């Protein structure tokens, strides 16, 4: 175990961006598997691998590179007092990064499902504010202490790992929220199709 940790540490030191991408891929996939198997109880036979793949694309291909750059920017905020610096970083993270990343998440996930920007806009309207509210609610209770610890105690190169590990339940919640939006859209599409079929039958009669 120690050898594996040392190898991971060495890899992060040499290739921090690639290391964060790989870490995010694993932990976002973990969140989606928990969402499908523990929350939605789909069972292994009904596990949606494409859905897991989509959230991995988001987590590894988009979220990890952006959040790596974002954390570096936060780390450079020129405030020497640790408490004031942490409060400033938390405020910036929640007021700038959180809304931006959530908008990106719902947009990208919808487009990866093969839908258009209109569908992405609809999902945003349905899911963005409840999800952001949940994020801020978590911030005021359990999440503030881990985020402080991440900023005060953990070296910059390990912060994406720490954030993702702390946020596995959050990644699970995101997966469920996105799935709810997709299910609503599918139900609406089916309802529209049923109405159109009924109208066609009525015209033929």
- How big is the chain, counted in residues? 205
Cβ atoms 24, 59 nearer than 8 A: yes
- CA distances for 9 relative to 94, 126, 199, angstroms: 28, 40, 63
Q: What is the pLDDT confidence band of residue 164, given thresholds at 50, 70 and 90?
A: low
Contact assessment for residue 40 and residue 176, using Cβ atoms and an 8 Å cutoff? yes
Give the up-direction half-sphere exposure of residue 204: CA atoms within 13 A in the CB hemisphere. Answer: 6
CA distance 42 to 38: 8
Q: What pTM was computed for the model? A: 0.76
DSSP state of 156: G
C-alpha to C-alpha distance for 175 and 34, rounded to whole angstroms: 9
- Rounded CA separation 33/171 (Å): 10
Q: At what angle do helices 98-112 and 64-75 cross, to 10 degrees?
A: 170
- pLDDT digit string, tens, across residues 86-138: 888 888 888 899 899 999 999 999 999 999 999 999 999 999 999 888 878 76
Query: Phi and psi of 144, rounded to 5°?
Result: -65, -40
Task: Give the C-alpha separation, 10 to 90, whole Å.
Answer: 29
Within its chain, how far is the Cα of 167 from the centroid? 9
What's the structural domain count of the chain? 1
Residue 162 pLDDT > 80, yes or no? no
Residue 184: its pLDDT value, please?
A: 54
Residue 173's pLDDT is 86
Q: pLDDT tier at 42 (50, 70, 90 boundaries)?
A: very high
- Residue whose structure tokens are 């609503």: 184
For residue 46, give both structure tokens.
Answer: 């009904």
| pLDDT tens digits along 166-203 | 778 888 888 888 887 655 554 444 444 444 444 444 44
Q: What is the pLDDT of residue 182?
A: 58
Predicted pLDDT at 189: 46
By residue range, what is the domain housing residue 128?
2-204
Q: Distance between CA atoms of 34 and 15, rounded to whole angstroms?
A: 29
């Amino acid at each position: 175990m120690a050898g594996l940790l040392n190898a991971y540490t060495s890899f992060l030191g040499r290739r921090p961006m690639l290391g964060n991408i790989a870490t995010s891929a694993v932990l976002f996939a973990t969140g989606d598997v928990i969402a499908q198997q523990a929350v939605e109880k789909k069972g292994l036979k009904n596990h949606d691998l494409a859905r897991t793949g989509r959230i991995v694309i988001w987590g590894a291909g988009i979220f990890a590179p952006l959040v790596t750059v974002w954390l570096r920017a936060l780390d450079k905020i020129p405030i020497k007092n640790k408490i004031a610096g942490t409060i400033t970083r938390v405020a910036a993270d929640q007021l700038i990064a959180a809304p931006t990343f959530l908008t990106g998440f719902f947009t990208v996930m919808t487009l990866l499902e093969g839908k258009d920007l209109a569908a992405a806009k609809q999902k945003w309207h349905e899911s963005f504010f409840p999800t952001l509210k949940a994020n801020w609610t978590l911030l005021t209770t359990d999440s503030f202490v881990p985020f402080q610890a991440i900023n005060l105690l953990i070296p910059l190169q390990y912060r994406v790992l720490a954030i993702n590990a702390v946020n596995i339940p959050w990644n699970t919640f995101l997966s469920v929220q996105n799935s709810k939006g997709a299910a609503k859209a599918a139900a609406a599409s089916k309802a529209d199709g049923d109405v159109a079929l009924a109208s066609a039958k009525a015209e033929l009669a």
